[in-house]
A and B are shown apart, each in its own frame.
Chain A
Amino acid sequence: MVILAGVAIFLIVQAAPAIAANWQTNASLTTGPTANQASFWTYVAPLIWGTVFVSAIALVMGAPVAIGIALFISHYAPRRIAGVLGYLIDLLAAVPSIVFGLWGIFVIRPFLLPLTVWLNHNLGWIPIFGGQASATGSTLFAGAVVLAVMMLPIITSISREIFLQTPRLHEEAAFALGATKWEMIRLAVFPYARSGIVSALLLGLGRALGETMAIALIVSPSLKFWVQLLTDGQNSQTVAANIALNFPIADTLQRQALIGTGLMLFVILIAVNLIARTIVARTGPGARNKRAQRKARQLPPTDPGVIATADAAAGPVGATTVATAEGVE
């Protein structure tokens, strides 16, 4: 924790001169990457917008798919295949972001270009698809797709692990009550795994918010508030990519300004985390009773008399057939 305090102090000390400086008259801040800004806040605001925007889009695209895959592996796929698939996904979580960046440049960018034109042409009346479509494919859309792909393995690995931990007795109890497989998942798996899923989503979002190289390589940015995903050179820049792009050329004060934007990224992440924690607390299992206060030991209500889930896990798997038969009215 000392490390964290160190990092925080370091950030604040480094960022303070740039935040306090006069951005309209300072010789260093009026040139180069920080030129033409009224103050630190007008500089950082579009960056924050861009970061949140692209991450949100990536999350919207990636999260359902990721949870879908996790469910597929944990509850739908045949056991033998599931092991292999799980391994494959873990492996993909290990693909470094620089590789995704290169892949985005050489594969995704040309691949999405026709789709970009098509979306812009046919759905241009929806604001986010409007504007002058890119001719090179370096759009925020391409960046968001790559981010979504990068998030998939992380969210999947963690939620799959958690789905697998659902006590077998809960699942079988649901089947015994006549639930279909989906109802069983909604009744037994999701409530059990909720905090874990939120945690997984947060880690995925964390990766997206802080992602540097892939965005820096793919997106063609500008310092603007912009929602049109398919344009070129208009997209809002993200904080991390902006740091990576301009850090090498920046002089001391400009570097401090960039570190200041990093500090703001920090603040966003705290906010995101707080919101997510609140959601977990509100909607976790047994939120309506006093268990909400025992968040840290969020264990599901269990049947009395159950000694160990390990025993149950070794039990028969034949519940499905019984359940389908009884599931009919």
Chain B
Amino acid sequence: MTASIASRKSKSPRGPIVNTLTSGQLPRFVELYTLAAALLVGAGILALVGFNVVGWLVVSAIVYLVVLGVMSSLVENRRKATDRVVRGLVSTAFLLAIIPLVSTLATVIARGIGVINWTFISTSTSNVFDPKTLAVVQTEGALQSIVGTLIITGMAAAMSIPIGILTAIYLVEYSLAGNWMSRTVTTLVDVMTGIPSIVAGLFAFSLFSLLFGPKAFSGFSASVALAVLMIPIVVRSSEEMLKLVSMELREASYALGVSKFLTIWKVVLPTAIAGLVTGVMLAIARVIGETAPIFMAASFTNNFNSNPFSGPMQTLPVMAYTGYKFPTTNIQGSLDSAWGAALLLIILVVILNLIARIVARAFAPKGLR
């Protein structure tokens, strides 16, 4: 930009004065035309070396960007050319990224949907033994995992959201920037983001073994492990969001004689609520899918257990993981239930996400975009 400003200053208008509102513009829908042309050219090139969809899209994207850039810099000017190319790049990045993400969702839904029915959701895994044939028939159910996931994640969230947001408020609103306390806290939070999840699980389990004796497997110790993972994420994102609340808003509030606490409560938090909720949801989403700390701290069970303070509990990600890694003799059946658990997990997250959004909307001030 600095370069372009400089060049604008140095160049004085030369030649006949043209209508600056219309000259040097590519026609309106040029990007669409170029895209269509690029797709054709891409198909042509690929036809020579062997056609495949991915290659076609990649080649077309490159052709599109190059052609548009060249055209624009010839007809318009370099700055506009850059602008158009960047617009193209950004859109391409978007399309490029959507493919794997949609593919993930599509795979999970396609493979999981067949498994999910009311029986799968409303019963826990049961094994029925037939004394006559000695056969054990296993019916896969997810109830024990759904309940386990909700309890463990819920308790982790209940612990880490207040701690996380309060820490963020302290960092942004109360601590003097650059003092040792805030620097220490920030560094500690940074470090905490780096705790490998399996270590968090071990830590929680060891802690509970020390406190409550050796049989310490419980949903609660798993939720402590998750809280250890979750707090730094909540702090990081909330801190970022609170910082973005414009200083003028706070100053306006102070100018009206409002106390610091009320300013934070009535002005800062509502303004940042959408971002805070996003951050919290990201954190929940991050930990709800954790596998390793759960089976370290809450062990594994196919039995139903809704008491978070005693006995092993199972969660959906653990169910998905064990279904894949330790299949029963019916390998396909285990794999199916793994995908079913994965899909249920995503559905659960969507529901939580919706709830959070509604809450955020209810609290957010009017008129924010």
Contact = CB atoms under 8 A, between A and B. Distances in A.
Pair from one complex: yes
Interface of A: 1, 3-4, 6-8, 10-11, 14, 64-69, 71-73, 76-77, 85, 87-100, 102-103, 106-108, 145, 149, 152-154, 156-158, 161-162, 164-165, 167-168, 179-183, 185-187, 195-196, 199, 202-203, 206-207, 209-210, 212-213, 217, 239-240, 243-244, 247, 259, 262, 265-266, 268-270, 272-273, 277, 293-299, 302, 306-310, 313-314, 325-329
Contacts of A306: 248
B331 to A, nearest CB: 14
B171 A296 contact: yes
B251 to A, nearest CB: 9
B190 A273 contact: yes
Q: Looking at chain A's contact residues, is the secondary structure mostly helix, strand, loop, or mixed?
A: helix
Contacts of A154: 282, 286
Contact of A7 (B228, B278, B353): B228
A50 B368 CA distance: 45
B86 A182 contact: yes
B289 A98 contact: yes
B313 interface: no
Interface in B303-346: 317, 320-321, 324, 338-339, 342, 345-346
A96 to B, nearest CB: 2
Nearest to B194: A269
B350 A239 contact: no
B200 A7 contact: yes
Interface in B90-139: 90-94, 96-97, 100-101, 103-105, 107-108
A161 B278 CA distance: 8
A239 B182 contact: no
Contact of A268 (B194, B228, B291): B194
Contacts of A156: 97
A90 B197 CA distance: 22
Given A165-B275, A182-B82, A310-B368, A7 B4 contact: no
A99 B108 contact: yes
B216 to A, nearest CB: 15
5 A-B pairs closest in CB distance: A96-B289, A269-B194, A68-B93, A94-B285, A296-B177
A162 B244 contact: yes
Given A167-B246, A240-B196, 20 more contacts: A64-B93, A76-B91, A90-B353, A94-B281, A94-B284, A96-B317, A99-B320, A99-B342, A103-B107, A154-B282, A154-B286, A156-B97, A180-B82, A195-B243, A199-B236, A202-B236, A203-B193, A269-B191, A309-B249, A327-B79
B64 interface: no
A188 to B, nearest CB: 11
B158 interface: no
B275 A90 contact: no
Interface of B: 1, 4, 8, 11, 13, 20-21, 23-24, 77, 79-80, 82-83, 86-87, 89-94, 96-97, 100-101, 103-105, 107-108, 171-172, 175, 177-178, 182, 185, 187-188, 190-200, 202-203, 206-207, 227-228, 231, 233, 236-237, 240-241, 243-244, 246-249, 252, 271, 274-275, 278-279, 281-282, 284-286, 288-292, 317, 320-321, 324, 338-339, 342, 345-346, 349-350, 353, 357, 365, 367-369
Given A259-B199, A266-B195, A181 B105 contact: no
A65 B96 contact: yes
B275 A161 contact: yes
A102 B320 contact: yes
A106 B365 CA distance: 45
Contacts of A99: 104, 108, 289, 320, 342, 345-346
A329 B24 CA distance: 10
Residue among A99, A153, A187, A265 with max Cβ neighbours from chain B (10 Å): A99
Given A69-B94, A149-B101, A199-B236, A206 B345 contact: no
